[in-house]
Amino acid sequence: MRGVGTVLALVVLATVVATFARRWRIPAPSLLVVAGLAVALLPGTPTIRVSPEVIGLVVLPPLLYASAEELSWRELRAVWKPVGVLAVGLVLASAAAVGAVASMVTPLSWQMALVLGAILASTDPVAVTALGRRLALPPKVQMLVQAESLFNDATSLVLYRVAVSVAVASAAANWGAAGGEFLLLAGGGTLIGALVAGVVVVIRRRTEDPVLETVISLVTPYAAYVLAEAAHTSGVTSVVVAGVVLGGRGDRLTNARIRLQLHAVYGTVVFLLESVVFSLIGLALPAQVRALSDGDRAWPLYALAVAGTLIAVRLLWLAPLSAVVQRKGGIQRPNWRLPVVLTWAGTRGVVPLAAALSIPVTAKDGSALTERPLVLVLTTSVVVVTLVVQGFSLASVVRRSGIALEPDHTEREEAAARCRLADAGIRRLEELSELEAVPDVVLDRLRRGLNARLDDARDRLTDSTVESADLVYRQLRRDLIAVEAAELRRLYDEHTISDTTRRRLQRSLDLEEARLADA
């Protein structure tokens, strides 16, 4: 019961902190890590041990799937070359640099230093997506950062397995076999993810049951992960591929009502899992530090050295790559602020922690791996440093770089699109009017609604400083919805309507209020 109570307390803490983070417009992962650290340092706080199975099997699949669903095929095709370079080349360079620095400045042997480098070599998709969700980055930049973090797993995982085999079994690194394993992990994970997505598409096309659709959506990432891991391929790659495939087809598989429900359910699941897992990172660090030997007390300096190495290598790799990409795009004077933003957005998070926890406790000969606690501490502390330092300052870096999209740009783009949508609707109405297939009263009603939307969209395009009629309409409509909701409650309290009728009418009012809020 104590374990269950601890988990429930953690969920409550994480939810409260994440809620305040959203209200204060502070990056939730960064604030959650700080809150976890603060709670762990309080007297009487129970020691929380994080299981790699819990993170790898329970937490990661839905979070990775949600991140992958946000990827767009069109933007992904536009950046696949630099993503490939970063997902392979930068991971290898980061692992080599961290391994070299760790072997020189820390007590770690070169074998365990290589393990540390492999663990921290790749950026974390969960952290990158959570931090970048509220940043007004250009679509290609956002896609580059997100896609890199999602597709660099296979390289990092192969490096990790090679490094662990060297450290645990004292075997020589077989890079030829590592290349074959990379193809197996990446190719096998891609194939299984695509197959799972294909099966899900077939099933979802044959059902319109909201409950069944929700269950299928929640089970899909776990199915992709478990099947891929059972086949000894990359479960993370499988989940990412399934998410990308299904995310691009979501609007064709379900109706509007089911999409609203799926969005609400998955949003809740992602919110809770992100809140808990980032709190766990902060909660785990003090207990890991207490497990260190007396000779490892300089771990804060080691962690800063490793974090600095990761940032430096990333900047040195991204600067020339960014210059080449921009020159190919016809830009004669490359913007050097772009690689700075891309460097600062490369945070570490949940995936490295899960990998570090998976390091065996003993070597092949049965002897204890005495350097494992220090690797755990350095991994967790580097994750904390990147989430706190880079997380709290990322918005400021993006803002000062000048590459962030202005709110007016997004609003004008949306207004122009609304014009095109309303025009298409009006043209279709004119066709129906000529066919005389619809009563005139219905056509007039639809035409008035479309013309109102068209006038509002043109209003926004011509002068965004003037308060549009649509804004006034939304405010007044919200007041009317509040009055209607109060009347609905009165009718129910007076036994004039049944509970079923009350629920249906309330849902209708809620949907309209949600649409007004989104607008």
Q: Which tokens go with 515?
A: 């649409």
Average pLDDT over residues 433-442: 73
Q: Is the pLDDT of residue 488 over 50?
A: yes
Count of all residues that appear for the chain in the document: 519
Are the CB atoms for 338 and 326 separated by under 8 Å? yes
* Helix/strand/coil for 210: helix
DSSP 121: S
Q: Residue type for 444, please? A: D
Q: Is the pLDDT of residue 518 over 50?
A: yes
Q: What is the pLDDT of residue 441?
A: 76
- pTM of the predicted protein model: 0.78
pLDDT in tens, 201-225: 999 888 878 889 889 999 999 999 9
Q: Is the pLDDT of residue 311 over 80?
A: yes
Q: What is the pLDDT of residue 252?
A: 73
Q: Let me know if 443 is exposed, middle or buried by CB neighbors in 10 A (0-12, 13-18, 19+).
A: middle
pLDDT in tens, 78-99: 788 888 888 888 999 999 999 9
Q: Which tokens go with 242?
A: 């399934």
Q: What is the pLDDT of residue 519?
A: 58
Are the CB atoms for 59 and 125 separated by under 8 Å? no
Q: Which residues pair with 362 in a beta bridge?
A: 368
Alpha-carbon gap, residue 451 to 453, rounded angstroms: 5
Q: Which tokens go with 1?
A: 């019961």
Q: Residue type for 113, please? A: A
Spacing of C-alpha 66 from chain mean position: 6
Q: What is the pLDDT of residue 296?
A: 82
Alpha-carbon gap, residue 313 to 334, rounded angstroms: 20
DSSP 406: P
Q: What is the pLDDT of residue 465?
A: 47
Q: Residue type for 6, please? A: T
Q: Is the pLDDT of residue 2 over 60?
A: no
Q: Is the pLDDT of residue 345 over 90?
A: no
Average pLDDT of the chain is 81
Q: What is the pLDDT of residue 304?
A: 95
User: In Å, what is the CA distance from 381 to each residue of 120, 132, 262?
Assistant: 11, 21, 36
User: What is the full DSSP assignment across 31-56?
Assistant: HHHHHHHHHHTSTTPPP----HHIII
Q: What is the pLDDT of residue 132?
A: 66
Q: What is the pLDDT of residue 463?
A: 59
* Helix/strand/coil for 175: helix
DSSP 171: P
Q: What is the pLDDT of residue 192?
A: 95
* Helix/strand/coil for 456: helix
Q: Which residues pair with 368 in a beta bridge?
A: 362
Give the N- to C-terminal CA distance of the chain in Å, as an integer: 46
Q: Is the pLDDT of residue 32 over 70?
A: yes
Q: Which residues of 268-288 are buried (b: 16+ CB within 10 A; e: fewer)?
A: eebbebbbbbbbbbbbbbbbb
Q: Is the pLDDT of residue 255 over 80?
A: no
Q: What is the pLDDT of residue 1?
A: 41
109 φ/ψ sector (left φ>0, alpha ψ -120 to 50, else beta): beta
Average pLDDT over residues 314-328: 80
Are the CB atoms for 60 and 149 separated by under 8 Å? no
Closest C-alpha to 464, from 410, 422, 424, 420: 410
Closest C-alpha to 36, from 267, 26, 28: 28
| Domain residue ranges of the chain, discontinuous segments joined by + | 2-405, 406-466, 467-519
pLDDT in tens, 353-404: 888 888 887 777 677 778 889 999 999 999 999 989 988 888 888 888 777 6
Crossing angle of helices 60-69 and 235-247, rounded to 10° = 40
Q: What is the pLDDT of residue 126?
A: 74
Tokens 């926004």 belong to residue: 460
Architecture of domain 2-405: Up-down Bundle (1.20)
Q: Half-sphere exposure (CA, 13 Å, Cβ side) for 36?
A: 32
pLDDT in tens, 56-79: 788 889 988 988 887 777 778 878
Alpha-carbon gap, residue 388 to 31, rounded angstroms: 8
Alpha-carbon gap, residue 259 to 68, rounded angstroms: 17
Closest C-alpha to 313, from 79, 81, 96, 84: 96
Q: Is the pLDDT of residue 407 over 70?
A: no
Share of the chain above pLDDT 90, in %: 17
Most confident of 3-17, 146-160, 177-191, 343-357: 343-357
Q: What is the pLDDT of residue 466?
A: 47
Strand positions, DSSP E, 96-186: none
